[in-house]
Structure 1
Amino acid sequence: MKAHRTAFLALICLAAPFAHRFLNAQATPDADDVTKEITGEIRDLRQVPDAQRGARTTEIALKIRALPAGGDKRKLATGFASYSTESDPGAAALQAVTTTLSQAIKEAPISMRNNRPGRPYMLLAKLVRFEGMTTDLKGPEIDRAQEILAQEEAEIQKTDFTLDALKGQKVQLSDLRGKVVVVNFWATWCPPCRKEMPDLDALHARFARQGLVVLSITQEDTAKVTPFISDMGYKSTVLFDPEGKVSDSFHVDDLPRNFIFDREGKLVAQSVNMLTERQLLAKLAKAGIH
Structure 2
Amino acid sequence: MNHSSLSTDPESSQVRAQALRRRWLLLGAGAVAGLGGAGLAAWRLRVGAVQEGSHAVFWDASFEGLGGETLRMASMRGRPLLLNFWATWCPPCVQELPLLNAFYDENRAKGWQVLGLAIDQPGNVQKFLQRMPLDFPVVLGGLGGTELSRGLGNDKGGLPFTVMFAADGSISRRKIGQLTAQDLQSWAKSL
Q: Distance in 1 between matches of 2:36 and 2:137?
A: 37
Q: What is aligned with 2:173?
A: 269
Amino acid at match of 2:137: T
Q: Distance in 1 between matches of 2:127 and 2:105?
A: 21
Q: Distance in 1 between matches of 2:54 and 2:71?
A: 17
Map 1:220-235 → 2, pairs under 5 A: 220-235=120-135
Q: Distance in 1 between matches of 2:25 and 2:132?
A: 44
* TM-score using structure 1 length: 0.53
Question: Residue 23 of structure 2 aligns to a residue in which SS?
Answer: coil
Q: What is aligned with 2:82?
A: 182
Shift of 1:33: 7.3
Query: 8 Å contact 1:166–1:237 — kept in the other structure?
Result: no
Amino acid at match of 2:111: G
Question: Residue 152 of structure 1 aligns to a residue in which SS?
Answer: coil
Map 1:138-177 → 2, pairs under 5 A: 149=48, 151-152=49-50, 155-160=53-58, 161-177=61-77
Query: 8 Å contact 2:120–2:142 — kept in the other structure?
Result: yes
Q: Distance in 2 between matches of 1:21 and 1:156?
A: 65
Amino acid at match of 2:17: N
Q: Distance in 1 between matches of 2:128 and 2:180?
A: 20
Q: Please state if 1:76 is matched with 2:37.
A: yes
Q: Distance in 1 between matches of 2:67 and 2:25?
A: 54
What is the root-mean-square deviation in Å for CA atoms of aligned residues? Answer: 2.8
Query: 8 Å contact 1:190–1:256 — kept in the other structure?
Result: yes
Map 1:95-174 → 2, pairs under 5 A: 119=43, 123=46, 126=47, 149=48, 151-152=49-50, 155-160=53-58, 161-174=61-74
Shift of 1:222: 1.3
Q: Distance in 1 between matches of 2:79 and 2:171?
A: 12
Question: Which digits, 9 at most, give the CA deviation of each residue in 1:154-193, with x for residues without a partner?
Answer: 5543432211112322122222121111110111122211
Q: Distance in 2 between matches of 1:31 and 1:155?
A: 51
Identity %: 20
Amino acid at match of 1:183: L
Q: 1:25 to 1:152 in 2, by over 3 A?
A: farther
Shift of 1:263: 0.9
Gaps of 5+ in 2: 1-9
Normalized per residue, the structure richer in helix is 1
Question: Residue 263 of structure 1 aligns to a residue in which SS?
Answer: coil
Q: Distance in 2 between matches of 1:256 and 1:21?
A: 53
Amino acid at match of 1:285: K
Gaps of 5+ in 1: 1-15, 39-63, 83-118, 127-148
The total of aligned residue pairs comes to 175
Question: Which digits, 9 at most, give the CA deviation of each residue in 1:37-62, with x for residues without a partner?
Answer: x6xxxxxxxxxxxxxxxxxxxxxxxx
> Which of these residues, 5, 24, 33, is aligned with residue 17 of structure 2?
24
Q: 1:33 to 1:166 in 2, by over 3 A?
A: farther
Ranked by relative contact order (alpha carbons within 8 Å, sequence separation 6 or more), the top structure is 2
Q: 1:260 to 1:20 in 2, by over 3 A?
A: same
Question: Which digits, 9 at most, give the CA deviation of each residue in 1:234-254, with x for residues without a partner?
Answer: 221111122133233224221
Normalized per residue, the structure richer in strand is 2
Query: 8 Å contact 2:54–2:148 — kept in the other structure?
Result: no
Q: What is aligned with 2:151?
A: 249
Shift of 1:272: 3.3
Amino acid at match of 2:107: F
Shift of 1:256: 0.9
